[in-house]
Amino acid sequence: MTSLDLVMILVYTFPMFLFAIAPALKLGDYLEEKYGISEKTKRIIMVSGTIVVSLGLATFLQFGHIY
């Protein structure tokens, strides 16, 4: 992986936030309902989930054409 690949992944990450917010919100709501987590923990899970999903999608966009 070159530095250009890393820069492109970071560039792709920002638009992927739009697609990553909904799953992170659903995950936070599910964990709050099922396990009764606190609001602070729910927010941490939603923010970290959004970042992880958007980075995953951006990485797939960058390297998805490689079989």
**pLDDT single digits (tens) 24-56:** 999 999 999 999 999 999 999 999 999 999 999
d(CA 28, CA 60): 24
| pTM: predicted TM-score of the whole model, two decimal places | 0.84
Q: How many other CB atoms are found less than 10 A from the CB of residue 59?
A: 17
Residues above pLDDT 70, as percent of the chain: 97
Residues in the chain: 67
d(CA 8, CA 61): 9
Please count the CA atoms within 13 angstroms of the CA of 30 that sit on its side-chain side: 9
In this structure, what token pair is assigned to residue 58? 């951006």
